[in-house]
Chain A
Amino acid sequence: GQQVMQIPQYQHVQEGEDFTTYCNSSTTLSNIQWYKQRPGGHPVFLIQLVKSGEVKKQKRLTFQFGEAKKNSSLHITATQTTDVGTYFCAGPQGAQKLVFGQGTRLTINP
């Protein structure tokens, strides 16, 4: 079945540095969703991208959806300690199932 791969698995940065996580799907996706899970918390929906080549920004976060709709990235500019957590991408498999990547765990040295 469809697989969603995410890299890197872990990323440690100094506060103020940038951070990027990449997501790749084995099949073309109708949309890609991104979630953030804080330590000890649950995943929280961040955004959904639908169009080929789409770029969306949320303050310091930039989300991109690839032209072929098989890959996506999340870039955080000038990380802050509040950005700590695990970032997941997710894509639909069929109409009623959302498949999640393994996640990228971000830790920040203040």
Chain B
Amino acid sequence: KAGVTQTPRYLIKTRGQQVTLSCSPISGHRSVSWYQQTPGQGLQFLFEYFSETQRNKGNFPGRFSGRQFSNSRSEMNVSTLELGDSALYLCASSSGQGARVTFNGYTFGSGTRLTVV
């Protein structure tokens, strides 16, 4: 079965602009989690969506938002980009039973590498 698809793979944006990233989970998976990965901070949790509802949110400013559609595809948006937003943004797909019982783990997409100049 197809894996997790993230688009685009690379983005270069200017400070102050906004960006939208897309994630299509594995077919049948209803949970999508987003992470920001930087060399200094590791993998930081942004938010998790299940059946179009945000169930959990990390400690990021309101400039970071997301949504999930009825087909489980998810988007995240970053407004008013700052230099510090440069990172690899990873989307993770799971069945949605929750992190406590995710016996098959999360399946990550290849990520979107965002560079803010």
Contacts and interface: CB of A to CB of B under 8 A. Distances in A.
Interface of A: 30-31, 33, 35, 41-48, 50, 88, 92-103
Interface residues of B, number: 26
A31 B35 CA distance: 20
B42 A97 contact: no
Interface string B42-74: 110100101000011010000000000000000
A88 B41 CA distance: 13
A42 B90 contact: yes
Contacts of A99: 45
Given A33-B102, A35-B105, A88-B43, 10 more contacts: A35-B106, A47-B105, A92-B98, A94-B56, A95-B99, A97-B48, A97-B56, A97-B58, A98-B33, A98-B45
